[in-house]
Amino acid sequence: MDGANSTPETRRFEAALHTRQFEIDLFWKRSLFFWGFISAAFLAIGALKQELPTVSLLISGFGLVCSVSWTLVNRGSKYWQEQWESKIEKVEDKVTGPLFKTREPEQGKGLWGGSKYSVSKVTTAVSDYVSFVWFCIFVRQAWICLGFFQSDRYKLFCIFGLCVIPLVYVALLLGFGRTTSPQNSTDSKPLSENASDDKKVG
């Protein structure tokens, strides 16, 4: 569209559309970023086995923090994507007509055809499961270390620290990792109350 002749609604629509696509691209780039660390931690745990229990506990704590961070980042990415989609819905009638607010019927191509599953919800569910797996690994490694160093108080104290630090860090992520809203911001509802994830990335 010609920038000189574009209306404020058109400029808002184009900015929101561009930023929405930017958020979608970042969603997958962030997932790849965290998967790199999580995969490396999985490989390290598998290679060490029980040879170095203290190091395995340290790695499992790292894997737990990374996996919880990943699932929180997924939710944050989805939040901002929905924010920009809501802005698009508010002005699209004046620019393109109903676009994001309308849903096309399923084509019904059988088992291997398209279906109304949310891509981002499935990805977030996988990240939740990975977080649970790492929590189980972390608890197992902590149990092994606590039993292995029962007779050594100094090492037992170190093991206790390795157990507490990741859990405290996860608690801090959950408590203080939320976006801070500007003081002059206002919450508004999108025009379409039934806007579903299948017409977005997920």
Look at residue 134 and tell me if it is in a domain: yes
Look at residue 141 and tell me if it is in a domain: yes
Domain that holds residue 92: 8-101+119-178
Look at residue 3 and tell me if it is in a domain: no
Per-residue pLDDT, 51: 76
Per-residue pLDDT, 69: 93
Q: Which of 79, 86, 101 is nearest to 13 (CA)?
A: 86
- The count of structural domains within the chain is 1
Look at residue 198 and tell me if it is in a domain: no
Classified as helix, coil or strand, 62 is helix
Identify whether the C-beta of residue 191 lies closer than 8 Å to the C-beta of residue 90.
yes
Look at residue 32 and tell me if it is in a domain: yes
Per-residue pLDDT, 185: 54
Look at residue 149 and tell me if it is in a domain: yes
What pTM did the predictor assign? Answer: 0.71
Neighbours of 96 (CB within 10 A): 13
Per-residue pLDDT of the chain (202 residues; tens, 9 = 90+): 555 557 877 887 788 888 888 888 888 888 899 999 999 999 998 888 667 888 888 999 999 999 999 999 999 888 888 888 888 787 777 777 777 767 767 777 766 666 777 888 899 999 999 999 999 999 888 888 777 666 667 667 777 777 888 888 888 888 877 776 655 555 554 433 333 444 444 5
Look at residue 108 and tell me if it is in a domain: no
Look at residue 83 and tell me if it is in a domain: yes
